[in-house]
Structure 1
Amino acid sequence: MTDIVRGSVASEFEGVREAFEELFASGAETGAAVAAYAGGTLVVDLWGGWADAARTRPWQADTLSTVFSAGKPVAAMAVLRRVADGRIDLDAPIAAYWKAFPHPAATVRHALAHQAGLPAAAVTDVAEILDGTRFAAAIAATPLEWEPGTAVGEHALTYGTILGEILRGATGETVGDVVRTLGLDVHFGLSPVDIDRCAEVEHATPDWPERQLHGHGDLWARALGPAALLATDVVNGPLWRGGELPAVNCHATARGLAAFYATLADLLPQPLLAEAIGPQAVGFDLLLQEDATWTLGWRRDEAWFGMGGIGGSSAGSDDSFGYSLAYVTRRLGDHDRSNAMYDAVEAALR
């Protein structure tokens, strides 16, 4: 074990430790954690590097990291839990719960499967995006990109706010309220104590925020919001950490996010879980500009279902190999690091 990497792996997963250590040795990583479950057992639980840019706080087992879109399935689960207990109907109009929502054809199912037609809101001010009430009003005032249910496109920033308004109207709860009942180290809206556990986000390169917006098409640029939203003073700031923007500001440990996938069967009744992780919207994603299969909260690729977050965090389950994995990082870059962890776990299971 190196000084920079700590934690444990089951004996047959030593290759995962080696791959994780290599991320730090190569300079690709400065602070991260990875966890994996197989057969209901935690077989990988590793963390390493630093939780801050000054390198004064070593990453700990309970260090939280913002995981961006890797938290979208957790936000979806908040709504699905209330579907399970009968307080939300998947095929009811969004407007049945969110009274200010002006598009009667859009349903809860459309919202969960990225088909609601509102992948971008007409707002460019970061303060407005981070204010849940103002951002919800901006979404409701934005014209549809397509008629609900007729197309699909990832709702990059709007997803969690739409779900949050459905939940609030149905039960009076926020997404963070319901997620806290799951008993996992996964959060929307951190307490002051939990804020103290947060890793400080950094960019892999100085131009990283601007590069995320360009070269992917007009809808992508509008949907991701201003580059300033990804500035380190924003994503390390009190509004991002303490508020709820449930499409992107989930904070989690790798262990907590992996446990979310490993315990899905405990979180939803089996018939609803089967429906939720099965294909709902299949076709050309107008935001991603590629073919995609969306479920009621997850992206699916054959046996794998999960979600990656801008910057490199990722979590999901693979039915064919029988594992769940989460990788969280403070260094915003590409997904080569999480991909290396998936590859190492699958190599160990072959």
Structure 2
Amino acid sequence: MAANIEGTTSAKFASIKDEFARNFAERGEVGASVCVSVNGERVVDLWGGMADLKNETPWERDTISVVFSCTKAATALCAHILVDRGLLKLHAPVSDYWPEFAKNGKETTTVQMMLNHESAVPAFRDPVKPGGFLDWDYMVKRIEDEEAFWEPGTRNGYHMVNFGWTVGELVRRVSGKSLGQFFQDEVAGPLGADFWIGLPDDVTNPIARILVAKPDPNIPLSPFTKRLLSEPDSIQALSFLNNGGWNQNDPAAHKAEIGGGGGLSNARGQVAMYEPLALGGSHNGVTLVSPERLDHIGQVSTATQIDATLLSPTRFASGFMKSMDNRAYPGGDQMSVVMGNAAFGHVGAGGSIGFADPEYGLAFSYTMNQMGMGLLLNDRGQSLIDATYRLLRE
């Protein structure tokens, strides 16, 4: 559908608006935002379409939406800030900070393993109580009591939403603040970013309504989706479906601190978080991490041919995703994100993304409300990333 697109671009990046418009006209976009910053200058800041089709509510400049696993990058960044301050040690046992976690086969888990999705609790075997995802203490207790799915550190398997409680509880215990409060105090607040892990009552930004993906019989299913649909006791099914009825459009869910998938932001808000990470760790007088910590953040810390959860090759950099080009695999278009070699960030289910690429001084984000198939990017977000890199390399 055609859409009214608002915002600005610099002359060099004007063609991004054309690609953004194509997403609406040709690729099923409903409402979305895209923002690009190069060397601290916002060269693209666009939004358009509908935030709520039912009520015919347009996507406005300050509209935010649930960005799903893009939230993991914010959670990981909080941990890295504590590492940079010497308060959290990557190779220390988790039990040094969270003794209750160290049982049921998880005794040897380190902080680095948690950031690497290697801590062996990607899902819950027993049903999560109704509304459980909105209850931090309940979810942390479930994490503590869950038996390891493998020996920690011997393999990695994407910790779908659980990453928010594994890494987030470390942040809470070390900082003395809830994950959402620490993120506001140390990252979003100083940067003036519209990005929240747990929406405060006084936030007035319009919230876009998430629309679930529409299955397309012409698109092959990924191995993850096949396993999810065929084996109800699999890690794939348990990690995705055993969620206590979590509804991403529920206002109560917006207020909950769900650090693995419940954050709310827009492209501009995510870019604000990534600008310092694209520029040596600091921007506009705000320092998030030291250059030395930033160098570590950008390095691949774990990679595998078959992720125990996603069933596809994955590459992570201590809580952030690296470029993962799985397009040659069956259903691989749903399990890929293609960025620059130096880039690191995170995709959200259905296709949202935010990342930094220090090689180009680039901070990029795209958010939307119409989810696509798969857990990683689809042709809407990837087309905008591809167009951005083409212009950067001219």
Match of 1:119 in 2: 122
Contact 2:298 2:343 in 1 (8 A): no
1:121 to partner: Cα distance: 2.0
Moved more, 199-208 or 337-346: 199-208
Look up the equivalent residue of 2:121 and give its one-letter code. Answer: L
| In the alignment, structure 1 residue 318 sits paired with structure 2 residue 353 | no
Look up the equivalent residue of 1:275 and give its one-letter code. Answer: H
Match of 2:239 in 1: 223
- Unpaired stretches in structure 1, ≥5 consecutive residues: none
**Map of 1:235-314 to 2, 5 A cutoff?**
235-264=248-277, 265-266=281-282, 267-284=288-305, 285-301=307-323, 302-314=341-353
CA distance in 2, matches of 1:84, 1:92: 14
SS at structure 1 position matched to 2:226: coil
Match of 2:195 in 1: 186
String of CA shifts for 1:230-264, please: whole Å, max 9, x gaps: 6xxx1111231000110000111211101211112
Contact 2:3 2:49 in 1 (8 A): no
Q: 2:383 aligns with which of 337, 340, 346?
A: 340
Look up the equivalent residue of 1:280 and give its one-letter code. Answer: S
Look up the equivalent residue of 2:271 and give its one-letter code. Answer: A
Paired-residue identity, %: 29
Evaluate the alpha carbon distance shift between residue 215 and residue 161 of structure 1 in structure 2; reply closer, same or farther with a 3 A threshold: same
1:65 to partner: Cα distance: 0.9
Contact 2:175 2:182 in 1 (8 A): no
- Unpaired stretches in structure 2, ≥5 consecutive residues: 229-233, 283-287, 324-340
- TM-score scaled by structure 1? 0.91
Contact 1:35 1:42 in 2 (8 A): yes
Contact 1:123 1:129 in 2 (8 A): no
Contact 2:27 2:380 in 1 (8 A): no
Look up the equivalent residue of 1:340 and give its one-letter code. Answer: S
Match of 2:50 in 1: 50
CA distance in 1, matches of 2:152, 2:134: 25
CA distance in 2, matches of 1:57, 1:162: 37
Evaluate the alpha carbon distance shift between residue 195 and residue 123 of structure 1 in structure 2; reply closer, same or farther with a 3 A threshold: farther
CA distance in 2, matches of 1:56, 1:85: 47
Evaluate the alpha carbon distance shift between residue 216 and residue 13 of structure 1 in structure 2; reply closer, same or farther with a 3 A threshold: farther
CA distance in 1, matches of 2:134, 2:368: 22
Match of 2:326 in 1: none
Match of 2:113 in 1: 110
CA distance in 1, matches of 2:85, 2:358: 26
1:315 to partner: Cα distance: 1.4
Q: CA RMSD in A?
A: 2.3
Contact 1:123 1:225 in 2 (8 A): no
CA distance in 1, matches of 2:205, 2:86: 37
1:27 to partner: Cα distance: 5.9
**Map of 1:128-167 to 2, 5 A cutoff?**
128-167=132-171
- TM-score scaled by structure 2? 0.82
| In the alignment, structure 1 residue 87 sits paired with structure 2 residue 109 | no
Contact 2:48 2:60 in 1 (8 A): yes
| In the alignment, structure 1 residue 205 sits paired with structure 2 residue 214 | yes
Evaluate the alpha carbon distance shift between residue 16 and residue 196 of structure 1 in structure 2; reply closer, same or farther with a 3 A threshold: closer
Name the structure with the higher helix share. Answer: 1
CA distance in 2, matches of 1:227, 1:161: 13
Contact 1:91 1:109 in 2 (8 A): yes
Match of 1:214 in 2: 225
Look up the equivalent residue of 1:115 and give its one-letter code. Answer: E
1:279 to partner: Cα distance: 1.4
1:322 to partner: Cα distance: 4.1
Contact 2:37 2:364 in 1 (8 A): yes
Contact 2:39 2:360 in 1 (8 A): no
Look up the equivalent residue of 1:197 and give its one-letter code. Answer: P
Q: Which has the higher contact order (CA 8 A, sep 6+)?
A: 1
Evaluate the alpha carbon distance shift between residue 225 and residue 325 of structure 1 in structure 2; reply closer, same or farther with a 3 A threshold: same
Look up the equivalent residue of 1:248 and give its one-letter code. Answer: G
Q: How many residue pairs get matched?
A: 344
Look up the equivalent residue of 2:71 and give its one-letter code. Answer: G
CA distance in 2, matches of 1:123, 1:325: 38
CA distance in 2, matches of 1:155, 1:257: 21
Contact 2:301 2:316 in 1 (8 A): yes
Look up the equivalent residue of 2:120 and give its one-letter code. Answer: G
SS at structure 2 position matched to 1:315: strand
Match of 1:176 in 2: 180
CA distance in 1, matches of 2:225, 2:39: 41
String of CA shifts for 1:254-297, please: whole Å, max 9, x gaps: 11101211112121011111112211112232112222221111
| In the alignment, structure 1 residue 327 sits paired with structure 2 residue 366 | yes
SS at structure 2 position matched to 1:72: helix
1:159 to partner: Cα distance: 0.3
Look up the equivalent residue of 1:30 and give its one-letter code. Answer: V
Match of 1:6 in 2: 6
1:90 to partner: Cα distance: 1.6
